[in-house]
Amino acid sequence: MVNGMSPAQVPHGVPVVAAWSMGIDSTAMIIEWVARGMPLSAVLTADTGTEREETYAFLPLFQQWMDERGIEHHVVRYTPRRFKHWPPYFTLLENCLTNATLPSISFGRHSCSLGPASETVSFARDE
C-alpha cells in the first residue's frame, strides 16, 4: 500500500520512495517491488553508524543491483558539527550512551538484520 492505495492505483508520475534498512525485509520488499514491474523512484537508507559489519559488506552489493536497474539510491548519515553535548558522539550508540538512553536494539538484544538478505519473503497477493 502506498498512501492507502495499492501499487496498481498509484498515479503515473507520482514518486515512489522506499526506505531501505539494509535488512532482510526491506531488501526483499524492494526486490519484489521491482520484480513486479512497479515504479520505484528512489531508495533511501539512514545509516546509524553502528550497523553490523556484514550489513555494511552487503551495501555495495545491493547498490550495484540497484544501479543495474536504474534505481536512484541515497544514504543519509549524521554528520557531527559543533557539539553541545559532552562527550561528543558520532554514532547512534554513542548518542544513547551520552544521553543515557538505552534502546535494546542498539545493544544487540534484537537483531533485525541477521540472516542472508536473499532469503525468500512471501508477500500477500492483492485481493
19-34 residue pLDDT tens: 998 989 999 999 999 9
Within a domain: 19? yes
Within a domain: 2? yes
Q: What are residue 64's phi and psi, to 5 degrees?
A: -60, -45
Q: Which domain holds residue 104?
A: 81-109
- Residue-wise pLDDT for 64-89, tens only, equals 999 999 999 999 887 766 666 667 77
Same domain, 95 and 34: no
Within a domain: 127? no
Tally of helices (H runs) and strands (E runs) in the chain = 3, 3
Compute the half-sphere exposure of residue 126: CA atoms within 13 Å on the CB side of its CA: 10
Answer yes or no: is pLDDT of 115 > 60.
Answer: no
pTM of the shown model: 0.61
Same domain, 22 and 38: yes
